[in-house]
Chains A and B, each alone.
Chain A
């Protein structure tokens, strides 16, 4: 049973435009949501997170939006750059002592020059 889902396996965007990556979850006990970026043959790298008590968090070109009632979050990248081409993973945590992160299956973003 996948608690974190990314229904779009891939996304293609033109350089300079906005990239919107989506993620849905089923567990209402999650209290933190995170986005990771992964290049081939490398480990995932942390991008941005948001607490469940907020609905928006921004860091430079990256903004994460959280809609708790819809159990949905999205990552906006503006403007998109060719170097943003990578697999993006959504993850969620219940917090607590274990801080276990549960990952979605990823979305491959291709930013076309």
Chain B
């Protein structure tokens, strides 16, 4: 019974295409996140939503647009994909105010390859 699930697990696409990654959590958490792990293995936060409200928006190109239809789902849409977008994207969730104590629960990642 997966706690944080992401789809797809692998995504290969051509430059210029638009793609979406979906994330769902069944933990009852109210805060969800998107992280990007680049080729140097550096995990960097992109966005965070709390109860469908955007609370963290790091310096990310506006080709990236998160959408949270409800507190259990956080999707990531990427327009006009570029080679540099190739990375592993991780979704995570936590209960508000408890991420520091109990950490986030991460999904297994989506490996995006732009060719």
Contact = CB atoms under 8 A, between A and B. Distances in A.
Given A43-B106, A44-B106, A99-B31, A93 B50 contact: no
A100 interface: yes
B104 to A, nearest CB: 6
B98 A105 contact: no
Interface residues of B, number: 30
Interface in A32-61: 32, 34, 36, 41-46, 49, 51
B96 A43 contact: no
Nearest to A92: B100
A16 interface: no
B109 A41 contact: yes
B75 interface: no
B85 to A, nearest CB: 19
